[in-house]
Amino acid sequence: MAVLENIDIREILPHRYPFLLVDRILEVEGEERIVGMKNVTANEPFFQGHFPEYPVMPGVLIVEAMAQVGGVLVLLNVEDRKNKLVLFASIEEAKFRRPVLPGDTLIIECKTLKRKATVVKMQGIASVNGQVVAEGIVMCKLADKPAPGAPPQG
């Protein structure tokens, strides 16, 4: 049973197809831990070029999926989240253990390591069928959403 379905996630994150990489949130523990899910289908647009003969989900998109799951955790507890963005700040110690293929269900767990006023550091672990496929430490910054047409401030 999902805590948040895709429609709920779209109320929290500004991402949209083809760049929304979280289908469901399965668990949330306060501000400390979240588990999300991404169904990886053969219809993903990135498989057309990565790689046509051997489709593999790009590692950078697995990291982005981690950041999006973490972003849901950050934004869930922000009252005026419609006026905020969670910006990717860094990735440390990224490791990729095995390819993620069409048909896989990617389970992403993020645990808060450190939290300051506008910066959150999280440990992200992505797995398929209980086997770790990728991991890393993701840092995100909570920022005010710029006015329409204005560039984000960084």
Catalytic residues: 50
**In this structure, what token pair is assigned to residue 30?**
């306060």
**In this structure, what token pair is assigned to residue 81?**
């989240």
For the chain, what is the largest distance between any 2 Cα atoms, rounded to a whole number of angstroms? Answer: 46
Rounded to whole angstroms, how far apart are CA atoms 72 and 12? 7
Given its phi and psi angles, is residue 30 left (phi above 0), alpha (psi -120 to 50 degrees) or beta?
A: left
CB atoms within 10 A of CB 17: 8
